[in-house]
Structures are given as C-alpha cells and as structure tokens.
Amino acid sequence: MPNLSNERKEYKEGLISAIGCSVFWGIMPIYWQWLKPIDSSVIIFYRIVLVALVCLIGALILYDKKTILEPMKDKKTVLKYVVAGILITVNWSIYIWAVNADMVIQTCIGYYIEPLVVCVFGIVLFKEKLNKYKITAFAFALAGVAAVVFYFGEIPLVALSLAFSFAIYAACKKNLSLPPVLSLFYETIFLMPFALVVIIYLEISGQGALAAAEMPKYALLMLCGLFTAFPLGLFANATRKLNLFVVGLTEYISPTISLFISIYLFKEPFESIQLVAFAIIWVGLIFFSYGEFKEIKKLKD
C-alpha cells in the first residue's frame, strides 16, 4: 500500500507540473506582447543573458562546483551544447518575433507539428521504429500544411521554422544527459558575452530597451529569464514522474491555449482554411498519440 500511495503521489505531482508547464507556455504570448514597444531583437538578446544568469544561480544552489564544471572537460560535449544553444536561440527568436508580429496562429501550427517532425528525425537519424500510426500522423500533418500552402499560395515559414529548428535541437541533444538547469546554462553561457556586448551597444546608442520603453516595461523585461527557466523546471519534474506519453499529450495544451488567445484576445484573422488545417493536423495527432500509447502498453506487457 505505501508503494501504491507513493506512486499516486508521484503521478499527481508530475501531472500538475506537466499541465502547469503547458498552461504557462500557452499564455506566454501575452507576456511577450506586453513588452511592446521593445523590439523583438532586443528582447532576444536580453533573454539570452538573463536565462544564463538565472540558470547560473539555480546551478549554484542545486549543485556543487565540480558537478557544474564537469561538462567542460569534454570539448565535444561543450561543442554540442554550443550548437544546441544556437538552435534553441534561433527557435526562441522566431517565436518571439512571430508573437510580436501578430503571427501567433502560425506559431501554434509549428508547435502542433513539432512532435511529428521530431519523430521523423528520430526515424531518419537514429533508426527509431516506424509504425503505421506515425506514418498516418505525418501524412495528416503534411496534408494540413499543404491545405494552407494551396489556399494562401505561400509556405507557412514561421510554423515550419519553429518545428524544424526544435526538431534539430532535440536531435542535437539526443545523447546529452545534463539536468535541465545545467543544460540550459551551458546552452546560453557561451552566447552570453556576445549578447551582453550587443545589449550594451544598443543601450548606449539609444536603440535598446531603456530608450524604447518606460521603467515598468523594463522591469517586466528583467523577468524573461525567470519566465523561461520556471516552466522548464516544471517540465523536468514532469518528465521524472510521468511517462513520456502523458507528458507528450499535455504538450498539446500549450499551442491550444495560444490559439484561443490569438483569436479572442489578439483578434488575429482566423480563416476557415486555417480551421480545416488545424482539424487535419489534430486527426494526425490523435493517430500519433494512440500509436505511442500502444507502444508503451506493449513495453509494459
């Protein structure tokens, strides 16, 4: 009985963390829009510096000096984290720019198809198992994107850039096993000096955040490092206490919340073809989720 009670407690805590993380990420477009009129590029450089600082503080609290510096001994590992840092910075940059350019709906499409793109990368690069559910899911995702391309006559570059940049980032981190705080620290610390130099230049030349916004907005900007690290902490807790199938399902909460925010709060135009595309992609996600459920059930049996 005590073991069953502990398992239920772990599951409950993990589920709260997973849902909390997804809800937090889902409402983040509101925060990024609040930072207007600060330019998106300025926000991105501040985010790099502040995330590195928050993760450094977190690492010093949670780990000893030896644990923090251990990855520095392996140059190949360091290089992988530098590349991963560049990739996730590209992903962040596209996302923040798109939100502030009133293109939240495209970011939602990107984050809906992202798990499917990650799956394809796993199959192509790491010879992971392909099944009929994954094939069906990817076919529906392609059909959803094709519907948008056919109707608007243009490729949804923001959506595809978000999905593929994160998929490449995930592939790059496939064999890296640092805890989330240390991982994010190493992904940002090597970019931090460059970002700090750019911030100083922008502020001195009157093109930075201080010139663009009043002090309350600047104070709000100072929270972006914490707002990045906090949901990642929840996500890490969720992955430790839940199986990846449940975590994967909760990840769809985030773009769904953002979609409703974009339509009802930001008043972005939402045409019928976009609804059709989302419906097609969602059918694919149902197949994908069912396939993952069967795989996990098979492993347990």
C-beta of residue 108 within 8 angstroms of C-beta of residue 262: yes
- Dihedral, CA of residue 14, residue 247, residue 243 and residue 184, to nearest 10: -80
Q: E strands within the chain? A: none
Nearest to 34 by CA among 92, 90, 89, 96: 96
Residue 288 pLDDT level (bands cut at 50, 70, 90) = confident
Confirm if 192 and 48 have CB atoms less than 8 A apart: yes
203/47 Cα distance (integer angstroms): 15
Asked whether the predicted pLDDT for residue 207 surpasses 90, the reply is yes
Across 254-267, b (16+ Cβ under 10 Å) vs e yields bbbbbbebbbeebe
Q: What is the CA angle 231-202-32, rounded to 5?
A: 30
Domain ranges of the chain: 18-300
Instruction: Check residue 132 and report its DSSP letter.
Output: H
106-136 confidence digits (pLDDT tens):
999 888 888 778 777 777 777 767 778 888 8
Round to whole Å and give the CA distance between 41 and 194. Answer: 14
Q: What is the pLDDT of residues 166-195, one digit of tens each?
A: 888 888 877 777 888 888 899 899 999 999
Instruction: Name the helix (H) or strand (E) containing 170.
Output: helix 157-172
Distance, first Cα to last Cα, the chain: 22
CA distances from 271 to 26, 37, 152, 275 (A): 21, 28, 11, 7
Q: What is the Cα–Cα distance from 280 to 276, expressed in whole angstroms?
A: 6
Query: DSSP assignment, residue 251?
Result: T
Which residue stretches of 35-131 are H helix? 40-62, 65-69, 75-100, 104-126
Q: Is 11 exposed, middle or buried (0-12, 13-18, 19+ CB in 10 A)?
A: middle
pLDDT tens per residue across span 132-171: 888 888 888 888 888 888 877 878 899 999 989 988 888 8
